[in-house]
């Protein structure tokens, strides 16, 4: 399978931009083709550092033994895709154009945006106690909704335990969860620390944020994200799965997960265990457009965007900071990347947008068991951000 590079304008026209090299297939994902090295074919034009991006994806696949990877780079209204490895181990096909994947915790930025819109509308205060909007929900085993604020939910400084400590997404692959059930699971655990004392990632925070949106608006959080964010931006490939929906709509790679050491096709699953913390499906291009619009001030007033960008130190990556559903990553060429990322069984995504307008998203179709798996994806993001324009 040859790696593809596609150049697409904002209005949807697609043209072939040239092959960048024969695909490098990792030994763990080999489908019979020989691995080859090298750059673009003679005479090919390297647009936006495509050779550098391809090399970075090859390195990522090789380091973590992944089936495949895709980078989407968007700037000045045009998107390019660089796909390496395979998107389907059975057929050997690469990631499809406009590949839809489970974007995991990128969902949090969409939900935080809606909450901050409600703040701008005067419906919610960032320093409101959670108890004001969700009475009796955060209670028991030392948990106290009168002491946890909306800001602390969005910032991951609430101290609330992560329900994933007791809910196993792999074991619960086909089980349907409601948000109240997930929060109730978290309430069986004591708080990790006093509210506001420090930063620690907890998916419970964003399930609660989704419940808050529903309580304040009287509509499902999925409907509010659609009405307020994805529809106005024309993100037609981004959606919350319907209740009971286990597959992916439209073109998509297969997503794989290691279960007892065996690689399993994990594309289909009930994502309700992730809910407002990570259930959304989307494309790299849609994510790039979303983060570009968000950081460009198209979704939030200046005051709320400034609050979103006020960060606390976070051990996501060296030098990273976490705001309100938004992560600041430093990159090697001296720029800052504002975005998020997501990890669910089958898919991992990382990316964001720089101040000069280059938006990048990298997706892999297996979550590496290596402790360096997330860092390796971020290295590929770094390469794409810093690739020669």
Annotated active-site positions, please? 105
Structural element, H or E, at residue 374: helix 373-386
Closest CA to 93 of 360, 365, 342: 365
Are 230 and 340 a contacting pair, CB within 8 Å? no
d(CA 2, CA 86): 10
By the 8 A CB rule, do 118 and 153 touch?
no
Q: Which two tokens stand for residue 96?
A: 């499809």
For residues 320 and 375, what is the distance between their CA atoms, to the nearest angstrom?
A: 12
Beta strands per DSSP E along the chain: 5-8, 14-16, 68-75, 78-85, 100-102, 139-140, 143-144, 256-259, 262-265, 281-283, 312-313, 321-322, 327-330, 336-344, 347-354, 359-364
β-bridge mates for residue 143, sequence order:
140
Cross-strand partners of 258: 263
């Amino acid at each position: 399978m040859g790696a593809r590079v596609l150049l697409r304008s904002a209005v949807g026209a697609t043209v072939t931009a040239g092959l960048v090299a024969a695909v490098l297939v990792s030994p763990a994902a080999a489908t019979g083709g020989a691995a080859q090295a090298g750059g673009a074919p003679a005479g090919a034009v390297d647009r936006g550092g495509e050779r550098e991006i391809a090399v970075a994806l090859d390195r990522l696949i090789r380091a973590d033994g992944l089936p495949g990877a895709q980078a989407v780079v968007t700037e000045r209204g045009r998107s390019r895709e660089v796909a390496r490895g395979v998107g389907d181990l059975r057929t050997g096909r690469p990631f499809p154009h406009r590949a839809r994947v489970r974007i995991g915790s990128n969902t949090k930025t969409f939900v935080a945006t809606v909450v901050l819109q409600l703040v701008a509308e005067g419906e919610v205060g960032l320093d409101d106690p959670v108890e004001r909007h969700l009475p009796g929900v955060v209670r028991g085993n030392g948990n106290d909704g009168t002491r946890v604020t909306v800001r602390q939910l969005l910032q991951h400084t609430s101290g609330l335990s992560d329900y994933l400590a007791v809910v196993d997404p792999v074991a619960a692959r086909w089980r349907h969860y409601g948000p109240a059930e997930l929060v109730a699971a978290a309430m069986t655990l004591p708080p990790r620390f006093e509210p506001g004392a420090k930063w620690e990632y907890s998916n419970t925070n964003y399930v609660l944020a989704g419940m808050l949106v529903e309580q304040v608006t009287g509509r499902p959080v999925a409907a509010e994200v659609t009405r307020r964010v994805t529809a106005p931006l024309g993100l037609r490939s981004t959606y919350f799965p319907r209740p009971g929906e286990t597959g992916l709509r439209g073109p998509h790679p297969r997503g794989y997960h290691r279960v007892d050491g065996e690689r399993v096709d994990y594309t289909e699953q009930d994502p309700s265990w992730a809910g407002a913390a990570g259930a959304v499906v989307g494309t790299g291009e849609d994510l790039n457009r979303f983060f570009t619009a968000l950081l460009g001030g198209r979704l939030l007033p200046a005051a709320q965007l400034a609050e979103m960008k006020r960060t606390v130190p976070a051990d996501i990556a060296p030098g990273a900071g976490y705001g309100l559903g938004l992560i600041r990553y430093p990159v090697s060429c001296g720029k800052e990347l504002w975005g998020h990322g997501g990890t669910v069984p089958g898919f991992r995504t990382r990316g964001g947008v720089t101040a000069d307008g280059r938006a990048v998203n990298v997706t892999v179709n297996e979550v590496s068991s290596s402790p360096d798996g997330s860092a390796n994806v971020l290295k590929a993001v770094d390469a794409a951000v810093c690739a020669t324009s």
